[in-house]
Amino acid sequence: MQQLEINTAIQISRSKTAIFEAIVHAEKMSGYFISSSSGSLQEGKTIRWTFPEFPDSFPVKVVQVNASEKVIFEWDGAEGFKTTVKISLEKITGTQTLVRVTEGKMEVTEQGITWYGRNTEGWANFLASLKAYMEHGINLRKGAFDYLKK
């Protein structure tokens, strides 16, 4: 049976090191993606992320961290399903980096298709927000999901 896998990417005008730091450090990530975290991404640790649009926090089990190269973690990608997320950084030039996010895999079922749509949207938002934060110091998510709290 076919499986669904999310694959998305964006080019950012910053070095791999600067982008890596913005991804692994909780205080930086809260400037563009999450509202809070119980800690930074460290291999072997499980932390909890809170998002501005959701009332609950989500466990993130960090599987691998390679400095300025990639971060791999597992989380509840969909209710009752653990998925693996890989964020990798590829140098284009000294100040240009390609950031890739993959997540998966899930079966092609109604639940899998729902997961695929929601999480693809989420990772595209993550990448756009990371780019805005890194290149312009803007938090695109600030207030963006307040309508969901009503």
Reply yes or no on whether the pLDDT at 87 is more than 70.
yes
> Are 103 and 77 spatial neighbours (Cβ–Cβ below 8 Å)?
yes
Note down the domain range covering 21.
3-138
At 147 the pLDDT is: 83
- Domain assignment of residue 32, yes or no: yes
pLDDT (mean) for 49-56: 85
Q: What is the CATH number of the domain that holds 50?
A: 3.30.530.20
Q: Would residue 145 count as lying in a domain?
A: no
Whether 49 and 1 have beta carbons less than 8 Å apart is answered as no
Residue 2 has pLDDT above 90, yes or no: no
Checking if the pLDDT of 94 tops 80, the result is yes
Q: What is the pLDDT of residue 52?
A: 82
Structure tokens at 117: 């749509």
For residue 93, pLDDT beyond 80: yes
pLDDT digits (tens, 9 = 90+) for 7-46: 999 999 999 999 999 999 999 999 999 999 999 999 999 9
Query: Rounded CA gap, 122 and 33, in Å?
Result: 10
Sign of CA dihedral 81, 85, 143, 118: negative
CB 96 within 8 A of CB 89: no
For residue 150, the model assigns a pLDDT of: 66
Residue 49: how many other CB atoms lie within 10 Å: 23
Residue 148 lies in a domain: no
Tally of structural domains, the chain: 1
Residue 42 domain flag: yes
- Report DSSP state, residue 148: G
Peptide bond into 82 cis (omega under 30): no
